[in-house]
Amino acid sequence: RYLASITALCIAAVCVASLLRSPELRQELIDNYHKAFDRLTSDSSKLCIERQAASFSAMETMLGEALVGQVEAHRTILRWFRQKNGVPCRFLVLHGSTGTGKSLAARLIAHHYPWPEKVFHVMWREQRSPDAQYATFESTFAEMRQKVLWHGICGDYLLVVDHLGSGDVQLLADLSEQLRNVAKRLQIRLNVLLAFRGSQPANQPVEGRSLEQVIPNTTIVRFRALGNEQLNECIRLEGSRLGLAEQKMKEAVTTVAKQIDVIRHGCKPVRAKLNLALPSLADAVT
């Protein structure tokens, strides 16, 4: 039986070789190959375009509901994501004073990104050395390569880096070159979201150059400082989440607002302060 299989294979090989001696048949096979390749390429390209057609409506809705007093920042973020851009790697910087919603925006963007399987997170740590930060990014690059092999190049990838400080700008400038090279090598489009902590001056010049000059293809979103009206709105939002009744909500706003310096801390302490005030408002929780 084994000998018969070998014999059949040899006969088939001889037949194919004989057929390929015909110029007409050889040309027909070549033409059919090119047609099949073109059809496959066209279908793959069409499928990729269809998969790239993303909806940012969920992100728009959640940012609109959660961000207080940041109408312009909200618009800039959505405009940036919806903008057609041919560069392999671009950067969006969230900058503003403490408690204005930068980290919240970063979390919501990552959670409601149209391609959730293509989102990567790096939480910056002040105490880490530059070598440790580089190692963290190298690990992220390795994970990104694996994801590209698994999920393909259709759809934009997103890297979120939170809790950055002004002293990290030079390191980010060095890493940005690596990010661009990785995106080019993997043939992907990479969106990089950089959220700076507190009022760290992300636009502080580095060697006489602005952040946009240090890191090409960068857009800075400036979160405006909050006032008392926005602080009260933050308290009401958190109170609604906890289920406070209308009358107790007013008491909560009055009590908690007195305990927060909105100029220095924005809405950041609202949740903690409101939770501390809950014992006296417990009967209002449904």
Rg (CA), the chain: 28
How many CB atoms sit inside 10 A of residue 249's CB? 18
At residue 87, φ and ψ (nearest 5 deg) are -75, 145
Q: What is the pLDDT of residue 284?
A: 46
Determine contact, residues 163/125, Cβ cutoff 8 Å. yes
pLDDT digits (tens, 9 = 90+) for 25-35: 666 665 665 55
- Where are the strands (E) in 148-215, listed by range? 157-164, 190-196
* 156 DSSP assignment: -
Residue 87 CB-half CA count within 13 A: 12
Q: In this predicted model, which residue has the larger pLDDT, 5 or 122?
A: 122
Instruction: Give pTM, 2 decimals.
Output: 0.78
For residues 207 and 234, what is the distance between their CA atoms, to the nearest angstrom? 39
pLDDT digits (tens, 9 = 90+) for 213-234: 788 899 999 999 999 999 999 9
By mean pLDDT, which of 127-131, 189-193, 271-275 is the weakest? 127-131
For residues 66 and 69, what is the distance between their CA atoms, to the nearest angstrom? 10
Q: Which strands make up the sheet holding 157-164, listed edge to edge? A: 119-123, 157-164, 190-196, 89-96, 218-223
Q: Which of 199, 105, 214, 78 is nearest to 160 (CA)?
A: 105
Q: Which of 156, 214, 218, 222 is nearest to 189 (CA)?
A: 156
Q: What is the pLDDT of residue 51?
A: 52
Residue 251 CB-half CA count within 13 A: 14
Q: Which of 111, 133, 109 is nearest to 122 (CA)?
A: 133
For residues 168 and 172, what is the distance between their CA atoms, to the nearest angstrom? 6
For residues 257 and 260, what is the distance between their CA atoms, to the nearest angstrom? 6
Determine contact, residues 82/249, Cβ cutoff 8 Å. no
